[in-house]
Chain A
Amino acid sequence: MTLLIAILSILFIVLTFMVVSKTQAILKGLTKSEVEDSEYLGAPDKFNSANGVGLFAFWIISIVGIVWSFVAYKKDFLPEASSVHGKETDYWFWVSMIVIMIGFFIVNTFLFLFSYLYRHNKNRKVTFYTHNNNLEIIWTTVPAIVMAGLVFSGLRVWTKITSEAPANAEQIDIMGKQFGWTVRYAGVDDNQFGKYNYKLMDDAGGNPMGVDFSDPNSFDDFSNASEMHIPKGKPVLLKIRARDVLHSVFIPHMRVKMDAVPGMPTKFWFVADKSTADMRAELGKPGFNYEIACTEICGRSHFGMKLLLVVDEPADYEKWKKSQKPLLTENPDLLNKVPDNLKAKAQKYVASDEPAEEVVPEVVASRVLGNSNKVLK
């Protein structure tokens, strides 16, 4: 590489010198060819036609290049959509793309064609044409109508995507931090998240997500910092938060992106319709994995904030959930955080690996994490 750079720079210096010496020659040539009006230094020179032809030639070559490169690189465009809304946004992406491509080719063609057709010619009589209100009206309304069409299709899709998540949605608490993601599940016993509070966060004490262990709902909560599992075909609601700086959850295949904001929980819901196994079969890549990336600059290792996403068949998903160990089990020291009156209830998660038989009484109102956070204050 260094060599390449060196060669390029040498090449460039040589070129520059050539350019300068050529310029001198051309300069002399130009002064000779000058006629008529010595005041008119901006008169078309001998390169004028070449430049006009060149612009059009550039455009023709560009069209070939664009078509070729599009075909050559198309296969990695928009990685295969694996969510229901993703198929819809992809469809509208390509519709919009066709619309703008038509505009792109037509308008650029006129620009470069006119450059070629009307390059300077002594004998041409220029048309003194200052304005045409009808033309202005036409080319104001046509784009306006096209825009209106795109806006309304976009609005419809956007409203659907950002609507309230269905009540049966599988909720996952996902938190961004420098530099990684941690997910938390509500647990299999009560299916209720325990509250959290950033003041309870304690990396050394095994509570990076600030789970509040005075809330009995938290006892069966489990978390994972390397994988997120979601069920196929079932709505998934990501409850997104960040604990230090801004992050952004980006799941390319799911067409999911939402910022994670400290102090302001956000959310995004979607339905994955292809499991990891489905995709492996479809793409013919046995090693395929869905990935979650960060798309809001967050510091040094922004580029390394990866979390694997596994889309399971619903039954497998339930099985996986059951196999996960609650936070209390993983880290029995957390029992110290549990108030004395609840210790007995918490004890069983610490004592044994067995899933609890006793079901914790359900809390009636389904709480939003952000609210519970405020309640704590």
Chain B
Amino acid sequence: MSAVSQVEVHEHSEHAHEEHHELGFIRKYIFSEDHKVIAKQYLISGIVWALLGAFMSLVFRLQLGFPDMDMAWMKPFLGDWISLDDKGLGKLDPNFYLALVTMHGTIMVFFVLTAGLSGTFSNFLIPLQIGARDMASGFMNMLSYWIFFISSVIMFVSLFIKTGPAGGSWVIYPPLSALKEANPGSGDGMTLWLVSMALFIVSSLLGGINYVTTVINLRTKGMSMDKLPLTIWAFTFTAVLGILSFPVLLSAALLLIFDRSFGTSFYLSDIYINGQALPNQGGSPILFQHLFWFLGHPEVYIVILPALGLTSEIIATNSRKPIFGYKAMIFSMAGIMFLAFIVWAHHMFVTGMNPFLGSVFMLLTLIIAVPSAVKGFNYITTLWKGNIIFTPAMLFAIGLVSFFISGGLTGIILGNSALDIQLHDTYFVVAHFHLVMGSAAIFGMLAGVYHWFPKMFGRMMNNAMGYIHFWITFIGVYLVFFPMHYIGIAGFPRRYYQWSGFETFNTYMDLNAFITIAAIITVFAQIVFILNFVYSIFWGKKATANPWKSNTLEWTTPINPGHGNWPGEIPTVYRWPYDYSKPGAPDDFIPQNVPFSATPESNLPEENELIEKEEEINSIKFDTSLHD
């Protein structure tokens, strides 16, 4: 928390002299309506959550890699969750193990990769890249962050209550999550989880509606939809996905709250627990799974699409080459968005759902592989005959593409219902989604931080530390998740505290230990990033206005853009954002705000015709003043 306030103080001194009407510190940096400040708030919250989530994973990785380990040394911070046996050996409580798994999933998926990624970059880049003074509603934007903050606080508090946080895994399937008797985590921890998530959904909806509205209404002169950077397309699709699917999770959560607290039977039926038959009848646990995955599946695209959007921008800029297949990229994202809504039940092939439904969902699931593949091919072709500059951002973007491909391919096996019978809920699934959406999205987020850091903080991050961070993390992630496929193919089930009770799962102790060590190294490598991040905010090399020679509008703002982003008029847009290394042009980039009439030497024939239209674009009158 002290880091946050320091950042804010620093920002304050940087900006103070540029402001016309001075807002108080609180209005400017805490309850700020400025999209850039809100973005940074999301970013820093996301990083804090990511570290917490990562360290949780280390605790349960130690349990899995070294089940006989003496964990007494963790007693100072885990307290009673470490119990000492008669020999004085510290053992992790199995209930707390489940709670850790649950919290790791919840934190990473929602608080880091949804709020931290979309919240940061949609907020930061949408107004800057479409040429807007701010979000459509600054107030809603502020509400969105602070509701997220309250949601975070509630989730954080749940870590410290006596019965522990929610422990039914991040999917919180009832009846386990509905019955207090079934698991200590299903008591107050679960209540807090549900309240926190309900608030999170409200926050996410406020954000999402704002993003879509802004993109539709506040584009600058000449910024037609076919001139939008792919990042903006990605954020828009993401927001639409969120708006349409999060309410379904909210309803699922509400019904669960009713079942838990008000005696309804939406998800409960025929239950005998603790020596008692419960009166609930007629409910269906499968109903919850349908509702949950109706969000849950789009959620993975909510996580990965923004990362892919950021990557598109970074790869084009640093290859000094236009993104290959701009329209194909948009269509494939649109295809992914549409299909994302109709594949949810592939998470439920073996839940007892009608097998015919399984067939339908298998068909739809494998179709979604096609647009995903197209995206991968387009990235690679963008690199082809480019002139690649390996900034840390570019390295992370390339890492993302590799993870997206490697992890996505195993999805073809899991999406096949017949093959999923054996692999469902094994480590094969864990390995698959950690690569394709976990690591890939985190890499997208890191790439985004490295790339847009100069615009966020007016300083550069250190490259050498960036390279070290990339190499350890990239190799580490593969070392963690590649062998995990092997464990999954051998049939090891997920969410097991240990496997030694089964002869069938009594192999691969060496692989599990190896994965744990690789995970420890990978997580600790993030310290390099944190050091670099904090150091560069204060003492980093001063940035220039356009350090990467990029085309998009955010680089036409001052080094430290103030409230309203552009001091004068918002630039007008004449061309698409990917005119890199255009033949005939003196420099290897032509920003979007350079009219074709100024670049006769590099114009394509059809672009010369557009020169006539420039007058028309210039004469558009928008009311771009800020309404307070």
Contact = CB atoms under 8 A, between A and B. Distances in A.
Contact of A244 (B182, B387, B541): B182
A147 B367 contact: yes
Contacts of B283: 263
Interface stretch (A293-301, A312-320, A329-337, A339-347): A293-301
Nearest to B462: A23
Interface in A116-162: 118-121, 124-132, 135-136, 139-140, 143-144, 147, 150-151, 154-155, 157-159, 161-162
B328 A299 contact: no
Contacts of B580: 126, 128
B493 A295 contact: yes
Interface in B397-447: 398, 401-402, 405-406, 409-410, 412-413, 416-419, 421-422, 424-426
A52 B419 contact: no
Contacts of A48: 389-390
B548 A42 contact: yes
A300 B581 CA distance: 60
A158 B385 contact: no
B372 to A, nearest CB: 9
A48 B392 CA distance: 10
Contact of A243 (B270, B318, B425, B496): B270
Contact of A248 (B350, B464, B486, B498): B350
Interface in B318-344: 318-322, 324-328
A154 B95 contact: no
A371 to B, nearest CB: 14
B547 A126 contact: no
Interface in B516-563: 517, 520-521, 524, 527-528, 531, 541, 543-549
A155 B422 contact: no
B417 A154 contact: yes
A139 B377 contact: yes
B272 A198 contact: yes
Interface stretch (B7-15, B41-49, B291-299, B351-359): B351-359
Contacts of A139: 373-374, 377
Contact of A198 (B169, B277, B325, B413): B277
Nearest to A43: B389
A124 B385 CA distance: 9
Interface string B440-470: 0000000000000010000010111101100
Given A41-B541, A48-B390, A306-B502, A158 B490 contact: no
Given A39-B545, A159-B355, A104 B406 contact: yes
Q: Which of A22, A41, A104 has the most CB of B within 10 A?
A: A41
Interface string B348-390: 0011100100110011001101100110111111011111111
Contacts of A294: 493
B139 interface: no
A159 B356 CA distance: 8
A368 interface: no
B258 interface: no
Contacts of B383: 111, 114-115, 118
Interface stretch (B30-38, B129-137, B503-511, B566-574): B503-511
B489 interface: yes
Nearest to A252: B491
Interface stretch (A12-20, A214-222, A225-233, A356-364): A12-20
Contacts of A5: 62, 73, 520
Contacts of B401: 111
Contact of A42 (B271, B389, B464): B389
Given A58-B474, A303-B496, A108 B173 contact: no
Interface string A77-113: 1110000001011001100110110011001101110
Interface string B485-503: 0100111011111110111
B228 interface: no
B156 interface: no
Given A136-B374, A258-B350, A301 B94 contact: yes
Contacts of B467: 47, 51
Contacts of B388: 52, 114-115, 118-120
B478 to A, nearest CB: 7
A45 B175 CA distance: 57
B385 A118 contact: yes
B578 interface: yes
A77 B374 contact: no
B416 A39 contact: no
Interface stretch (A166-174, A186-194, A199-207): A199-207
Interface in A46-61: 47-48, 51-52, 54-55, 58
Given A103-B409, A126-B580, A295-B494, A243 B272 contact: yes
In this complex, the interface size class of chain A, counting residues with CB under 8 Å from chain B, is 35 or more
B486 A77 contact: yes
A81 to B, nearest CB: 9
B460 to A, nearest CB: 6
B457 to A, nearest CB: 14
Interface string B70-85: 1001000000000000
B494 to A, nearest CB: 7
B285 A262 contact: yes
Contacts of B373: 139-140, 143
Contact of B546 (A39, A66, A120): A39
Max count, chain B CB within 10 A of own CB: residue among A19, A40, A287: A19
Given A40-B547, A147-B367, A304 B501 contact: yes
Contacts of B594: none
Given A41-B541, A58-B475, A126-B385, A97 B520 contact: no
A297 B489 CA distance: 19
Given A51-B390, A79-B504, A96-B413, A143 B94 contact: no
A194 B69 CA distance: 48
B502 A293 contact: yes
Nearest to A196: B270
Contacts of A258: 350, 352
Contacts of A299: 95, 98, 167, 176, 182-183
B369 A42 contact: no
B395 A257 contact: no
A288 B504 CA distance: 9
A377 B281 contact: yes
A264 B284 contact: yes
A348 interface: no
Interface in A238-283: 240, 243-246, 248, 250, 252-253, 255-259, 261-264, 266
B227 interface: no
A26 B358 CA distance: 57
A224 interface: no
B416 A150 contact: yes
A210 B504 contact: no
B275 interface: yes
Given A41-B543, A151-B363, A302-B497, A263 B284 contact: yes
Contact of A41 (B328, B508, B544): B544
Nearest to B381: A135
B583 interface: yes
A129 B424 contact: no
A100 B413 contact: yes
Contacts of A297: 98, 168-169, 173, 176, 494-495
A289 B502 CA distance: 10
A42 B547 contact: yes
A234 to B, nearest CB: 21
Given A9-B524, A115-B398, 19 more contacts: A2-B69, A12-B524, A16-B527, A16-B531, A39-B547, A41-B460, A76-B490, A103-B409, A127-B385, A127-B581, A128-B581, A130-B324, A257-B350, A257-B421, A297-B494, A299-B176, A300-B95, A303-B94, A303-B497
Which 10 A/B pairs are nearest by Cβ-Cβ distance? A263-B269, A162-B355, A266-B352, A126-B581, A51-B390, A41-B547, A42-B548, A263-B270, A157-B418, A127-B385
7 contacts: A40-B544, A129-B381, A143-B370, A178-B182, A296-B425, A297-B176, A302-B495
